[in-house]
Every structure is written in structure tokens, then in C-alpha cells.
Amino acid sequence: MNLVFLGPPGSGKGTQAIRIAQELHLTHLSTGDALREAVKNQTEVGKKSKGFMDKGDLVPDEVLVGMIKDIITGGELSGGFILDGFPRTIPQAESLKTMLQESNANLDKAVLLDVDDEEIICRLSGRWFCPQCSEGYNYPAKMPAKAGLCDKDGAELKRRADDDESVVRNRLEVYRQQTEPIIGFYSKESILTEVQGADSPDNVFNSILEAVR
Ligand code: AMP
């Protein structure tokens, strides 16, 4: 099964993509995580991407399409995948379609997680993560036992630089203008399925499973 997860920043698509990928034995690929890794390792892709990411803008299509093309041709996704954070523009969606056709594959579903703006700003302003084990926290919904420290390994929790409120507002604006048109693209292809993302994580997980099975 090949899936893409769509939704505004903070809609929970990353968390859900990881859980659904485990449940259905699919490869999970987050382009945001891959780009953050590239920035950390100061690769060519990382150097090209950092300025855009810091502002909450999209990294140019050719950088992302090149990255995904390498991954698809390398065969990493051939056992079924969830793409989390790609595509984010119509040209990316069109390129993905072509790249998959060239590998005799296709998308089964595009899962859209719907959450309204105020809920998103509230979620992201309380979002923290452990830099060592990647465990996510959320104030006040999921607090660590000791303030500011990871429950699993005691490391000091951090925030993503682009979760600052002004950057979040720009990321939402970018989502509305550049990413939302993809909803129409997948709706025309008859593979769009919409799930309410404002529910509890377990309920959202079950709704997604029901939608894709
Ligand atoms: P995310 O972790 O998915 O919120 O992505 C973090 C940042 O990485 C975004 O705000 C963009 O700057 C960049 N990014 C991730 N995926 C893409 C994409 N498909 N196209 C362009 N930029 C992306």
C-alpha cells in the first residue's frame, strides 16, 4: 500500500504516519525530518534548505523532487510507503505521479487530516521533543514527569525553531496557499480520504486505519 499524508503543520500527521506505518508494515518517510537531518549534517541539500526552513517557507520543488527521486529509484519505498510532508505543491504532486508511474507503482490513498488554525497554533506552541530519542511532548496534554526533561532518557527537552508563533503563522499561510490545492488534485484522482484530526490520537489512528483499509 502506498499512501501520502496531507494536513496543516500540527495536524498530527507525523505522529499518525509513524503509528500507521508500524501497524501496516510500511516505510515512513518524513521530508521534514530528512531535511532537518540534512541541515544538521550540512549536506548540499541542507545548505540549500536551511534559510527557507527557518522562515517556515517551502524549500524549492527541485530540491525535494530530486531527493524523492533518489529515494524511489534506490528502492527504499518499494515495499509500500507513507509519505509525510510530500508532496506540498501541485508540481511536487505531478512529479510524484510521474516518478511512481516510471516505477510501475501508484498511490492508493491521500489521507487528509483536518484541524482548524486556532487548535494548530495552540498545539504547536506547546510542542517539545527529546533531541536524543525523538519522544514528543505537549503542554498541557502530554507533560513530562519532571519539567523540561525527557521521561525516557532524562535529556533536556527542546522546541523546533520553526514552532515559534510568528513562523507557525507563516507555515499556515504557506499551507493554505501552496499545499491546499493538492486536496483538489487528489480529489480529482478519486483517492482523497478525509479524517477529523481534532479527536484524541487513538481515535484519529483508528479513523485513518478504517479509511485506508
Ligand atoms: P515538516 O517537519 O513537515 O513541518 O517540515 C519542516 C519544513 O521542511 C517545512 O516548513 C519546509 O520548510 C520544509 N519541507 C518539508 N517538506 C517539504 C516539501 N515537500 N516541500 C518543500 N519544503 C518542505
Q: Which atom of ligand 1 has the smallest separation from the CA of 36?
A: 8
> What pLDDT is attached to residue 166?
85
Structure letter (DSSP) for residue 199: S
CB-CB contact of 4 with 193 (8 Å): no
Cell numbers 521534514 correspond to what residue?
32
Q: β-strands 136-138, 127-129: how paired?
A: antiparallel
Cell numbers 505531478 correspond to what residue?
94
> What pLDDT is attached to residue 144?
96
7 CB within 6 A, ligand 1: no
Please confirm, yes or no, whether 127 is among the known catalytic residues.
yes
C-alpha span between 53 and 170 (Å, rounded): 11
Q: Report the predicted TM-score, pTM, of the whole model to 2 decimal places.
A: 0.89
Q: Which atom of ligand 1 has the smallest separation from the CA of 31?
A: 16
Distance in Å, CA 203 to ligand 1 centroid: 26
Q: Which atom of ligand 1 has the smallest separation from the CA of 171?
A: 10
> What pLDDT is attached to residue 180?
96
45 CB within 6 A, ligand 1: no
Please confirm, yes or no, whether 88 is among the known catalytic residues.
yes
Greater model confidence, 201 or 93: 93
64 CB within 6 A, ligand 1: yes
**List 36, 88, 109, 123, catalytic entry:** 88
Q: Kindly list the structural domains of the chain, giving each domain's residue range(s) and its CATH number in brackets, ordered by start.
A: 2-115+174-212 (3.40.50.300)
Confidence band for 187, pLDDT divided at 50, 70 and 90: very high
C-alpha cell at 174: 504557506
Q: β-strands 27-30, 2-6: how paired?
A: unpaired
pLDDT tens for 28-82 read 999 999 999 999 999 999 999 999 999 999 999 999 999 999 999 999 999 999 9
The SS3 of residue 209 is helix
> What pLDDT is attached to residue 8?
94
**Proportion of the chain in helix, strand, coil states, percent, rounded to 5:** 50, 15, 35
Distance in Å, CA 31 to ligand 1 centroid: 6
How would you class 154 by CB atoms within 10 Å of its CB: exposed for 0-12, middle for 13-18, buried for 19 or more? exposed
Least confident piece of the model among 86-100, 134-148, 181-195: 134-148
Residue 114 has pLDDT above 90, yes or no: yes
**List 97, 127, 146, 176, catalytic entry:** 127
CA distances from 7 to 101, 110, 179, 189 (A): 24, 10, 9, 18
> What pLDDT is attached to residue 58?
96
C-alpha span between 89 and 32 (Å, rounded): 14
> What pLDDT is attached to residue 163?
87
End-to-end Cα distance, the chain: 9
10 CB within 6 A, ligand 1: no
Please confirm, yes or no, whether 171 is among the known catalytic residues.
yes
Mean pLDDT of the chain: 94
> Mean pLDDT throughout 5-19?
94
Residue 139 has pLDDT above 90, yes or no: no
- Count of alpha carbons within 13 angstroms of residue 212, beta-carbon side: 27
Residue whose CA lies nearest to ligand 1 atom number 1: 32
